[in-house]
Structure 1
């Protein structure tokens, strides 16, 4: 700094003002800053906030809870986990499945070049479907989409018996492989756009009236894990999601819609299952084909049976992550998870719902089920005033806070909760009746003495 600058700085200090230091900006620094400004974001693409973006990296706040639930285990689909060494085994089978598909496509006069030419114009929409800037060049990206997409279609066709399957195919003879493939194809980070799958499907299988739809094959494939009746799935055969996870989520959305409810003193989170039961709320398994279809009426909370296992726990977490990231997604699963998290606050609550045939626990202990639901709702955005269960929350709280229900429930638990207390109550009632009858006859005899003849 020059002498002139120092003298000015000292003069300013003497007058009680702050000292200003002169920072020299050179041309190289400005060039570096301008370069940073011109760079596109890599980890969060600008398209992540647009309608087109539907495939996301799971936010760290969610992945920290259960990282393994979001990352594929044996197969990589799409760019996020492409090339990782642990997926090399299935990567080799992708080329075999592509070869099988091409052999059949020859009857339609469709060759490999046709697949690439059909997908190549979609490069820009494909890139906009992902939340991160993809570092792959155009040819590598299109090659990935064709290989992964054809593998999925051929897998659906073989499992759905649309085409003959090799009885010695190791992907089908080893019992552990297919369930892992099904889980991996329903992970948020492991998706490719549905419009790519549809284009490849139309070229290879067909889209005529007599041909099965892509949605029909996809839902039939995943039905090996959840086993819903075909009449439930048929109304989704013509649906198109933004990817497979979205399509599968759509098949569980109940008929009731998300609604906006006005604030009230009863519209807030509910108590745990044990406390609600002590206040008179009864629990009953609901017969329905969607786990989201929960009803409350006349003090009875009807909840569909939930099978807790590795498949469902992974699916739950990926559903919630998708709903949190995708701007056009509904929040049905987030709402359901929030309600179940309220009900299952402790292992005792999980055991209570298990005893009432609402939870089938193949997941582990009651403690693990409680820990899962305590974690699944952490760090998620949930608006209770705009949810499909807002009426249930409100009515359960209103019932819970009714003093008459609490007193009656206390009486019922005290005298009718166990066979011994019930027998004691019956004995006391009989004794009371006998005492009243005895008193009646004593008074009657006193007021009507026998006449002496």
Structure 2
């Protein structure tokens, strides 16, 4: 009987030791659990707007130059690269020109509206953008105003003789960089800034119309496509080119073109 009692007591001690070891193990896992919970909780929400991304590594390795801007950085992916710094000097000058041309926008109002767009703009990129809010807003304003000014000057032949960026050889380089998928700004920012500064109702051309004419001038797209494209369906310049080459039946309809069909009842 004593041997059986000893076995029972030994079994009970082993169970307590097992529970103790589990408790110790769980305690040691708390820091890892906390860090993983922090990682999971800190994930930004996935957005349906996500449409600007880096080219897959294998594609880039085949021909890196085909996916890398040669002169102009737009957006965050190639920002700060050494070989693109020469063009960065033009951006503040073009932003100044943009502000001088409008009596509706000031520097402060541009910053304010860009901050209002920031969250949505960030959601267009397939990866988190490691820029502070101020850095992101500054990038958006300099890049978008530069693009608007380049397109505007091309349309109205401004500074043709004084700015070498308006000469054909440079225009071709800028156009090429502006249609790279890694080198994009959301279209709503470009159009929104243009519309606030120069409302279409005051007789100026829409930014969509100016953009199509700009790319048509170089032969990238046809010039008669603007009537069948709605700017609300354009995500960025690459997407604009895609829409231009889609059959008209597959393009997003403009609001006034939506047709409602009455379906007959089963009775």
The two structures share one fold, judged by TM-score above 0.5: yes
Matched, 1:71 2:68: yes
Please identify runs of 4+ aligned residues in structure 1 that moved more than 4 A.
24-29
8 Å Cα contact 1:53/1:130 also seen in 2: yes
The answer as to 2:89 corresponding to 1:89 is no
| Alignment check: 8 A CA contact 2:187 2:235 kept | yes
Q: Which residue of 1 aligns with 2:262?
A: none
The correspondence of residues 376-395 of structure 1 with structure 2, limited to 5 A, is none
Structure 2 CA distance for aligned equivalents of residues 227 and 83 of structure 1: 28
* TM-score (norm. length: structure 2): 0.76
Determine the structure 2 residue equivalent to 1:57. Answer: 54
Give the counterpart of 2:95 among 83, 92, 98: 98
The match for 1:134 among 119, 129, 150 is: 129
Corresponding pairs, count: 233
Structure whose residues are more often strand by fraction = 1
Q: 1:27 to 1:168 in 2, by over 3 A?
A: farther
On the 8 A contact 1:45/1:130 being kept in 2, the answer is no
What residue is the counterpart of 2:196 in the other structure?
203
Match of 1:158 in 2: 153
Instruction: Label 1:212 to 1:34 Cα distance change in 2 as closer, same or farther (>3 A).
Output: same
1:176 to 1:30, Cα distance in 2 relative to 1, 3 A: farther
Q: In the TM superposition, what are the counterparts of 1:362-377 in structure 2 within 5 Å?
A: none
CA separation of 1:68 and 1:227: change in aligned 2, threshold 3 A = closer
User: Are residues 27 and 83 of structure 1, via their aligned partners in 2, closer, same or farther at CA, if it must alter by over 3 Å?
Assistant: farther
Does the CA-based 8 Å contact 1:58-1:70 persist in structure 2?
Answer: yes
Q: Please say which structure displays the higher CA radius of gyration.
A: 1
Contact 2:221/2:244 (8 A) holds in 1: no
Q: 1:344 maps to what in 2?
A: none
Counterpart CA distance in 2 for 1:36 and 1:149 is: 38
Bigger relative contact order (CA 8 A; separation at least 6): 2
1:360-385 residue CA offsets vs partner (Å, 9 max, x unmatched) = xxxxxxxxxxxxxxxxxxxxxxxxxx
Offset, 1:46: 4.7
Note the C-alpha offset of 1:150. 0.5
Q: 1:148 maps to what in 2?
A: 143
- How far apart are the structure 2 equivalents of 1:89 and 1:27? 56
Higher helix share: 2
Superposed, 1:24-63 pairs within 5 Å as: 25=25, 30-39=30-39, 46-47=45-46, 50-63=47-60
Cα distance in 1 between the residues matched to 2:31 and 2:165 = 54
Q: What's 2:217 paired with?
A: 224
TM-score (norm 1): 0.47
Task: State how 1:237-316 maps to structure 2 within 5 Å.
Answer: 238-240=230-232, 241-255=234-248, 257=250
SS in 2 for 1:144: helix
